[in-house]
C-alpha cells in the first residue's frame, strides 16, 4: 500500500508512514465505506431500472395482446399515478440523480393510461347511400331490357307453279287453284262461278293455267297470279240454264255476296225464291272465295262469266263508280276486243249479291268478263286480255 499523504510505500497494516511520520489509519480508513456504499447504491439502482423496465415491457405486451380494460375515471388514474410516484420515491435509498432518473419512467411505462379510442357500435342495418350518379348500365344488370322481337319475315315463295285447295263445296269437292310467280302484288282469275251454266269459263281457267305452266316468263317479276279453276264444282252441267248456276243448296253463288243482297234474288228480270241464300256468304263456296281474296289483298280480280254478244267487260259498281276497276276493265276490253260498259246500266237490271260489286265496296278492283258463248272460251281474245292485265299491274 502507499501512504495517502506522501505516497511513499508502506507495509500493509502499518499505522505510521516511515517517510513522513504521519498516521496512515486516519487517512485511508474513511473513504472505503463511502465508496462501497456508492457502488452498492449504483448496483441497486441498475437492478431497479432493469426490474422496472421488464415490468413496463411486460405491461406493454399485455396491453397490445389483450382486450382494452374498461375505462377508468380520472380520479382513479390520478390516484394510481400518485401512489406509484410515492412508492418509487420512497424505495430509493438515496435521493440522487440516479434515483430520480429511475422514478420518472416507472409510472410512464407501467401506469400512464393510454388514450382509449371511441368505438362507435356498428349499425344493425347498412346506412342509406345516395349515389352521386346513376350508371347507365345498372338497369341492364338488375332488370334485363325489354327486347322487342323483330317481325317474322314472310318466306319468299318459289316461282311455282303450285297447286292448292282454297276450300270445299257443299258436297265436299275441292275448290282448286294454281299459283304462278312470287311477286309482292297479286292478281286473281276466277273461272266456273257458274260452272254448269257457262262451262266455257272453266275451260278458259284450265287453258290459262296450262299457258303459264309453259310460259312462266309471262308473269312479271312483281306479280303473283292465282287461277281458280272452278268455284262451283257441285253445279250440274246445264249450259245457259238456271240449274247450271246453282250449287248443291240451290243457291246462285253470284247472288250470295253482300251488295244489294236479297234472299229472293232476281235473274233476267225474274225473282228466283231462295236463290240468294239464307244470308250473305251463307254458302261454303262464297265463304272460301271471300276469305282467300281478302287474305291475298289483290290489285285485281277477274271473274269469267257468260254471256254477252261479242263479249262484255263490266267494272264492279256498288252504288258508286270505282276508277281502278274502270281502268282495269278498259285494259282487258281493249286488248280482247270486248265492249266495256256497266252491265246494270245497259240491261236496266239490278244485280243482287254480285261478287265484283261487293269487292269494289271493299276497295279491291274487280271486273266481270261475259264471254260471247256459254261453252266456247274464246281463247285468243281472252289471252290478249289476260296479258294486258298483267302489263297493266306490272307498271
pLDDT at 117: 46
pLDDT of residue 174: 98
Least confident piece of the model among 10-14, 221-225, 235-239, 312-316: 10-14
Q: Identify the bridge partners of residue 188 per DSSP, sorted by sequence position.
A: 226, 301
Across the chain, mean pLDDT equals 80
Number of other residues whose CB lies within 10 A of the CB of residue 222: 14
Radius of gyration of the chain (CA): 63
Question: What does the pLDDT average to over 15-42?
Answer: 60
Give pLDDT tens digits for 68-89. 444 444 433 334 433 333 333 4
How far is the C-alpha of 329 from the C-alpha of 368, rounded, in Å?
A: 8
| Span 270-313, pLDDT tens digits | 999 999 999 999 999 999 999 999 999 999 999 999 999 999 99
Average pLDDT over residues 350-376: 97
319 burial class (0-12, 13-18, 19+ CB within 10 angstroms)? exposed
Could you tell me the domains of the chain?
1-65+75-113 (no CATH), 162-394 (3.40.630.10)
Q: Which helix (H) or strand (E) holds 74?
A: helix 74-91
**101-110, 214-223, 267-276, 363-372, range with the lowest pLDDT:** 101-110
User: Which stretches of 155-299 are assigned E, i.e. beta strand?
Assistant: 162-168, 174-180, 185-190, 223-228, 265-267, 270-272
Cβ neighbourhood burial of 130 (10 Å; 0-12, 13-18, 19+):
exposed
Q: What pLDDT, in 10s, does the model give residues 208-232?
A: 999 999 999 999 999 999 999 999 9
pLDDT digits (tens, 9 = 90+) for 166-213: 999 999 999 999 999 999 999 999 999 999 999 999 999 999 999 999
Amino acid at each position: 500500500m502507499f501512504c495517502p499523504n506522501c505516497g511513499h510505500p508502506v507495509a500493509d497494516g502499518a499505522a505510521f508512514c516511515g517517510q513522513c511520520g504521519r498516521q496512515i489509519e486516519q487517512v485511508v480508513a474513511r473513504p472505503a465505506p463511502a465508496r462501497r456504499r456508492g457502488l452498492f447504491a449504483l448496483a441497486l439502482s441498475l437492478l431497479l431500472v432493469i426490474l422496472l423496465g421488464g415490468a413496463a415491457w411486460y405491461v406493454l405486451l399485455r396491453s397490445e395482446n389483450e382486450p382494452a380494460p374498461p375505462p377508468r375515471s380520472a380520479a382513479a388514474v390520478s390516484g394510481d399515478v400518485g401512489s406509484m410516484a410515492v412508492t418509487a420515491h420512497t424505495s430509493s435509498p438515496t435521493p440522487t440523480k440516479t434515483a430520480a432518473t429511475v422514478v420518472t419512467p416507472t409510472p410512464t411505462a407501467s401506469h400512464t393510461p393510454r388514450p382509449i379510442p371511441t368505438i362507435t357500435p356498428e349499425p344493425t342495418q347498412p346506412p342509406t347511400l345516395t349515389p352521386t350518379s346513376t350508371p347507365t348500365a345498372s338497369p341492364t344488370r338488375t332488370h334485363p331490357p325489354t327486347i322487342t322481337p323483330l317481325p317474322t319475315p314472310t318466306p319468299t315463295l318459289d316461282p311455282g307453279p303450285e297447286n292448292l285447295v282454297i276450300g270445299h263445296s257443299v258436297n265436299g269437292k275441292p275448290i282448286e287453284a294454281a299459283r304462278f310467280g312470287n311477286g309482292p302484288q297479286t292478281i286473281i282469275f276466277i273461272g266456273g262461278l257458274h260452272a254448269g251454266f257457262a262451262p266455257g269459263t272453266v275451260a278458259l281457267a284450265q287453258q290459262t293455267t296450262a299457258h303459264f305452266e309453259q310460259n312462266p316468263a309471262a308473269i312479271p317479276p312483281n306479280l303473283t297470279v292465282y287461277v281458280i279453276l272452278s268455284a262451283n264444282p257441285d253445279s250440274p252441267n246445264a249450259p245457259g240454264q238456271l240449274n247450271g248456276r246453282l250449287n248443291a243448296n240451290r243457291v246462285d253463288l253470284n247472288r250470295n255476296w253482300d251488295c244489294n243482297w236479297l234472299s229472293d234474288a232476281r235473274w233476267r228480270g225474274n225473282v228466283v225464291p231462295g236463290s240468294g241464300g239464307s244470308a250473305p256468304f251463307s254458302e261454303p263456296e262464297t265463304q272460301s272465295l271471300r276469305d282467300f281474296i281478302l287474305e291475298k289483298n289483290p290489285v285485281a280480280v277477274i271473274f269469267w262469266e257468260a254471256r254477252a254478244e261479242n263479249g262484255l267487260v263490266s267494272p264492279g259498281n256498288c252504288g258508286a263508280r270505282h276508277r281502278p276497276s274502270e281502268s282495269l276493265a278498259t285494259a282487258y276490253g281493249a286488248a280482247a276486243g270486248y265492249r266495256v260498259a256497266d252491265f246494270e246500266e245497259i240491261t236496266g237490271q239490278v244485280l243482287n249479291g254480285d261478287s265484283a260489286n261487293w269487292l269494289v265496296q271493299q276497295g279491291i278492283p274487280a271486273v266481270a268478263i261475259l264471254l260471247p258463248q256459254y261453252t266456247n272460251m274464246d281463247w285468243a281474245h281472252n289471252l290478249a286480255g289476260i296479258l294486258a292485265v298483267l302489263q297493266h299491274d306490272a307498271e
